[in-house]
Chain A
Amino acid sequence: GAGVSQSPRYKVAKRGQDVALRCDPISGHVSLFWYQQALGQGPEFLTYFQNEAQLDKSGLPSDRFFAERPEGSVSTLKIQRTQQEDSAVYLCASSFSGNTEAFFGQGTRLTVV
């Protein structure tokens, strides 16, 4: 596609519910990143894929967070047993390679109630 696409745009989850956030990167982009952005703050790194390999997951805040990219294209960020502190905008980005310009999707705003 023309840009990075994320779905859903908005998600309201009850505390304890599992959620799955989807990211469709730009076609041909090898690298894919997930970031978490709290209100009024800059994004915080969560995880990085090169093709299907998850090379860095050091930013995932707990073992309730899990990301995958099984075929090296679409990625899913899964959050289990959501908590209120998980409420944030989750941004996905892709780039041709790990150190080139990153292009971001519009994000998924997750609200845990």
Chain B
Amino acid sequence: KQEVTQIPAALSVPEGENLVLNCSFTDSAIYNLQWFRQDPGKGLTSLLLIQSSQREQTSGRLNASLDKSSGRSTLYIAASQPGDSATYLCAVGNYQLIWGAGTKLIIKP
């Protein structure tokens, strides 16, 4: 059974720092891996989707990598801003996504 883990559960850093969020999964036979952000009281916003044949995807200040053999993905955020404060979740799967519990990120001005 696929399990997804995100460490740390919470992270607080000063504005401007580059940071890395981690996601690990137990079954390397994944189809897609997707990173989302969730703001309090709001839905999930898709950030990046990496297909199983890909190793990374980039969007603006965000870069997500995928290493299926080690069962890991990282989300790199460059030059963090207070507006980046949110909970970041990763999910793996095909039509049925299996989710981590998220990393709550706080960027201090």
Contact = CB atoms under 8 A, between A and B. Distances in A.
Interface of A: 4, 6, 31, 33, 35, 40-45, 48, 55-56, 59, 91, 93, 98-107
B34 A102 contact: yes
A99 B4 contact: no
A62 B42 CA distance: 27
Contact of B43 (A41, A59, A106): A106
Nearest to A50: B95
B94 A99 contact: yes
B71 to A, nearest CB: 17
Nearest to B95: A98
Given A42-B91, A43-B44, A106-B43, 13 more contacts: A41-B101, A42-B89, A42-B101, A44-B99, A56-B95, A100-B49, A102-B34, A102-B46, A103-B46, A104-B43, A104-B45, A104-B46, A107-B43
Interface residues of B, number: 22
Interface in B30-74: 31-32, 34, 36, 42-46, 49
Contacts of A42: 4, 89, 91, 99-102
Nearest to B93: A45
Nearest to B94: A99
14 contacts: A6-B43, A31-B95, A33-B96, A42-B91, A42-B100, A42-B102, A43-B97, A43-B99, A91-B43, A91-B44, A99-B94, A100-B49, A101-B46, A102-B46
B22 to A, nearest CB: 15
A107 B39 CA distance: 12
Contacts of A99: 31-32, 94-95
B59 to A, nearest CB: 12
B97 A102 contact: yes
Contacts of A41: 101
A56 B94 CA distance: 12
A107 B98 CA distance: 18
A105 B38 CA distance: 11
